[in-house]
Amino acid sequence: MSGTQDDLYDDHILDHFESPYHKGHLPQPTCSHSDRNPICGDQITVELLVDEHDVVKEAFFDGKGCAISQASASILCEAIEGKTLQELRDFQAQNMLDLLKVRLTASRQKCGLLGFKVLKTMLYTLDEQREPASSG
């Protein structure tokens, strides 16, 4: 059996959970967003510092919750630094799940995709805010 349950808590996930990448806050984020999973209460905030070329200079997260939600937010932050906002818009849930390298059951996907969801909502809000500015 490949990608079976017991691989879920593998070193990749546990390392990110124990020593997360960029856990904390940016002094002056360009944008930030928080959300929680109402069922389990897990909570994630993502903050980005974006330069004038729309490139993510730094990504930070903070939050509380299970190893899967916290490790995946850490993996997400590590993966998106250096990417353009357009690349982030193209980044799909499956790409996020691929980054985790473990197979999640349907109920755990909500944990693994919480940070991703926060990022997507943040981009959407950012685009909404920019829209009126650029159009008039």
Partner 1 sequence: MTTISSDFDVESVRRDFPILHQRLLGDVPLVYLDTAATAHKPRSVVAKVVECFEQYNSNVHRGIHQLGDRMTTELELAREKVQHFIGAGSSDEIVFTSGTTMSLNMVAHGWARKFLKPGDEILLNSMEHHANLVPWQLAAAATGASLKYIPLTDDGRLDLTTLDQLLTPRTKLLAVTAMSNVLGTINPVAELAERAHAVGALICVDAAQSVPHLTTNVRSPQIDFLAFSGHKLYGPTGIGVLYARRQLLEAMDPFLAGGHMIREVFLDSSTWADPPAKFEAGTCPFIEAVGLGAAIDYVQHIGLSQISHYEHLLSVRAHEQLAQVPGVKIHGPSVEHKGAILSFTVDGVHPHDLSDLLDRRGVAIRAGHHCTMPLHELLNLTATARASLAFYNTMEEVDALAEAVRAARQVFRLK
80, 56 contact by CB (below 8 A): yes
57, amino acid identity: K
Does residue 103 bind partner 1 (CB under 8 A)? no
Burial 109-129 (b: 16+ CB within 10 A, else e): bbbbbbbbbbbbebbeebeee
Among 6, 52, 98, 128, binds partner 1 (CB under 8 A): 6
Closest CB to partner 1 among residues 45, 56: 45
Among 51, 54, 57, 64, binds partner 1 (CB under 8 A): 64
Q: Which residues contact 67 (CB under 8 A, 6 or more apart)?
A: 9, 13, 14, 17
Min. distance of Cβ 109 from partner 1 in angstroms?
12
Pick the piece of the chain touching partner 1 (CB under 8 A) from 61-69, 72-80, 94-102, 124-132.
Answer: 61-69
45, 32 contact by CB (below 8 A): yes
Kindly tell me the number of DSSP H helices and DSSP E strands found in the chain.
6, 3
Among 49, 55, 66, 97, binds partner 1 (CB under 8 A): 66
Min. distance of Cβ 11 from partner 1 in angstroms?
10
| Subset of residues 106 to 135 that bind partner 1, contact rule: CB under 8 A | 108, 111
Taken in order 49, 27, 32, 14, the sign of the CA dihedral is positive
Closest CB to partner 1 among residues 14, 129: 14
Binding site for partner 1 (CB under 8 A): 5-6, 8-9, 14, 18, 39-43, 64-68, 108, 111
